[in-house]
Amino acid sequence: MTRLQLDLQFFSGEKTEKATPQKRQESRKKGQVAKSQEVPAAFILFGSALVLYFLGGWYLERVLMFFQFIYQDVFLTTLTVQNVPELMNELFVDLAIVVAPIFVIAIVFGIGGNFVQFGFLFAPEAVLAKLERIDPISGAKRIFSLRALVELFKSIAKVVVISTAAGVILWTNKEQVMGLSHLPVRQSAAVIGQLTFELFLTVSLILVVLAIADYMYQKYEFEKQIRMSKQDLKDEFKKMEGDPLIKSKIKEKQRQMSLNRMIQDLPRADVLITNPTHFAVALEYNDAKMDAPTVIAMGMDFQALKLREKAKEYNVTIVENKPLARALYAQTDIGDPVPEELFGAVAEILAYVYRINGKMKEERRTP
């Protein structure tokens, strides 16, 4: 891609870049994830098929008991104001017992179908009321969009495929279906249950295949939707790293605070070793408390100049030693002891400083 094409993409705001982890996290907080509604539907239908397979005999008995209760206890009983509520309650309890296993499996497998797609997701922002959702213009755009046409085609294809599969199953077992009227109730119920299980299993497997294909399509659409332009990447980087102007002001404030702290500690220094103007390192040595001389202040350029000015004001001895000042600045930090390889040079300077200071004290005592 040429430089001109890159510049045109940048200024046009074309979304050509993959979404960053930060962008994906923000989309997830809004409930925007790659998901297919076909996956939980396939899971629910497959779970229902498993319920019929493992609880088929129990279902047969419960259904027969249910109809027996209706035809014997309800229709053949004289209904009164007193027994109608009791009969209705018993009827609803039996119906709830029959429906409960499939209902529970539908909830579990429905949640599982969403969990395998995007894991655990809690996004309150996704359910907040937004005015654009009731905007008729936006609604019309969604209805007549390419995505809506794809969804329509997908629904038609799903109905055709499922109807064809159901027709094939019924046609293959047409003799059993046609002979249901000649079978006892228990046998006909068993045949219907077997056909229902085959139908559920076949349709659920078809839906699984369709769900995988639909999930891949939804993931592709989602990736395309959250793409970012080069300007978006630049803005996000600026947001994460901070505005350069603000960062420079913060650093300047930090440097000023650091300089103020060093100036406060400078009167304790025994010597200020300079470069003479580029570097300045202040050393303190107390043989009762320290094993080696310690750096209590250091600076470069402007800070070095300020330390020199304050050292003169506080009567701290200033010694010019270019290689030692550079070495101390490069190898130590504030609060660090002097490295062993620099002990000799620092000891000579401290001895020189103590000798000068001693002479100055003697001269002051001499009348």
At residue 201, what is the residue type? L
Q: Taking residues 113-124, what's their average pLDDT? A: 77
State the CATH class of domain 264-365: alpha beta
**Mean per-residue pLDDT over the chain, rounded:** 77
pLDDT of residue 359: 47
Whole-structure pTM value: 0.49
Alpha-carbon distance 22 to 240, whole Å? 9
Q: 249-275, pLDDT tens digit by residue?
A: 777 777 778 778 888 888 888 888 888
Q: Report whether pLDDT(328) > 50.
A: yes
Give CA angle at 193 (183, 99), nearest 5°.
Answer: 125
Inter-residue contact 67 to 95 (CB < 8 Å): no
Residue range(s) of every CATH 3.40.1690.10 domain in the chain? 264-365
User: In this predicted model, what pLDDT tens digit does every residue of 8-50 receive, in sequence order?
Assistant: 444 445 777 788 777 888 777 777 787 888 888 888 888 887 8
Dist CA 202 CA 43 (whole Å): 13
Average pLDDT over every residue of 197-209: 82
- pLDDT of res. 78: 63
Closest CA to 147 of 65, 238, 220, 50: 220
Residue written as token pair 């014997």: 72
Q: DSSP of 40-95, one letter per residue?
A: HHHHHHHHHHHHHHHSHHHHHHHHHHHHHIIIIIITTS---TTHHHHHHHHHHHHH
